[in-house]
């Protein structure tokens, strides 16, 4: 009798552990990004200069619409959002465009502008407090 009870307790404990890990790796569908996030400030360039930048992104119904501005360069992107592990999301760019790009942008900014606007690009976001950090482009968006 005791052996059966111990086996049952071990089985229940294992099932509980699997459920906890599963719920951590694959959170509920209702954990979606909604609303507007933005940031603005000065960006220090590799040359030592600084430029004003602003980023804004709107989330609605598993979609995103983003706009970034650095001096006269404007980057527009849109696409869909996929939820990954807890507090991690992927933006899948479906449409994007860059206007005002010239030879004065530093390499890091140039990469971020061109990379983020290319259809098919995957941008990984991770939540940090009330903000989202875009790993590939080093952009920060905070909840408004």
In total, how many domains does the chain have? 2
Whether 41 and 103 map to the same domain: the answer is yes
pLDDT tens figures, 7-33? 545 554 444 444 444 444 444 444 688
Are 44 and 78 found together in one domain?
yes
Instruction: Say if residue 110 is in the same domain as residue 75.
Output: yes
Structural domain range at position 17: 1-30
Distances (CA, A) of 104 to 2, 32, 50, 68, 70: 77, 38, 12, 17, 11
Q: Half-sphere exposure of 100 toward its Cβ, with a 13 Å CA cutoff? A: 9
Same domain, 91 and 26: no
Phi-psi sector, 48: left (phi>0), alpha (psi -120 to 50), beta: left
pTM as predicted: 0.74
Give the pLDDT confidence of 44-99 residue by residue, as tens digits.
Answer: 887 888 989 999 999 999 999 999 999 889 999 999 999 988 889 999 999 999 99
């Amino acid at each position: 009798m005791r052996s059966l009870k111990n086996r049952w307790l071990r089985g229940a404990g294992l099932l509980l552990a699997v459920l906890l890990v599963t719920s951590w790796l694959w959170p509920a569908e209702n954990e979606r990004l909604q609303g507007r996030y933005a940031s603005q400030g000065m960006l220090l360039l590799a040359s030592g200069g600084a430029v004003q930048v602003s980023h804004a992104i709107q989330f609605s119904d598993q979609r995103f619409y983003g706009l970034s501005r650095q001096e006269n360069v404007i980057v527009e992107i849109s696409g869909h959002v996929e939820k990954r592990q807890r507090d991690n999301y992927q933006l899948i760019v479906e449409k994007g465009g860059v206007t005002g790009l010239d030879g004065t942008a530093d390499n890091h900014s140039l990469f971020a502008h061109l990379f983020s606007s290319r259809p098919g690009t995957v941008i990984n976001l991770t939540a940090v407090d009330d903000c989202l950090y875009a790993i590939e482009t080093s952009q920060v968006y905070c909840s408004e």
